[in-house]
C-alpha cells in the first residue's frame, strides 16, 4: 500500500483495517468515526453532488465543526497532491526523500 498509508500505520491502523478501506461501509474493523471521515474523503475526491445535509449530520456525530473544516482541508490537500502526482507521471513509494541540511 506504500506511502499512502504510512501515517495510518503510524497511528495504529492495522494492515487488515487498511485493506478494508475500499469496502469501509461494511467493515467491522473501522470505527464509525473512521467511516465518516472516509465517506467525507470519498465525496470530496469524487462526486461532490453527494454532498448534503445527511453527510454533515453524520460528520457532526463524530467531529466538531472545526474538525470538519480541518479534515476537509487535509483531504483536499491530499486529493490535489495525488492528482498532481498522477498528471506528472510520478510514482509514490516509500517515503519522500528530504535532502540533508548543508554543512556550514
Global pTM value: 0.75
For 6-50, the pLDDT digits (tens) are: 777 787 888 888 888 899 999 999 999 999 999 999 999 988 887
DSSP string, 25-83: GG-SSS-HHHHHHHHHHHHHHS-GGG-SHHHHHHHHHHS-HHHHHHHHHHHHHHHHHHH
Q: Is the pLDDT of residue 1 over 70?
A: no
Task: Please report, for the chain, the start and end positions of each structural domain, with discontinuous segments joined by +.
Answer: 1-29, 31-91
For 66-99, the pLDDT digits (tens) are: 999 999 999 999 889 888 888 888 776 555 555 5
Amino acid at each position: 500500500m506504500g506511502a499512502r498509508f504510512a501515517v495510518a500505520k503510524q497511528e495504529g491502523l492495522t494492515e487488515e483495517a487498511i485493506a478494508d478501506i475500499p469496502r469501509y461501509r461494511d467493515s467491522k474493523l473501522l470505527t464509525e468515526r473512521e467511516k465518516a471521515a472516509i465517506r467525507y474523503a470519498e465525496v470530496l475526491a469524487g462526486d461532490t453532488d453527494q454532498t448534503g445535509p445527511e453527510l454533515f449530520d453524520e460528520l457532526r456525530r463524530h467531529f466538531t465543526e472545526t474538525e470538519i473544516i480541518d479534515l476537509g482541508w487535509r483531504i483536499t490537500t491530499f486529493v490535489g497532491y495525488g492528482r498532481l502526482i498522477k498528471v506528472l507521471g510520478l510514482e509514490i513509494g516509500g517515503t519522500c526523500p528530504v535532502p540533508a541540511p548543508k554543512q556550514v
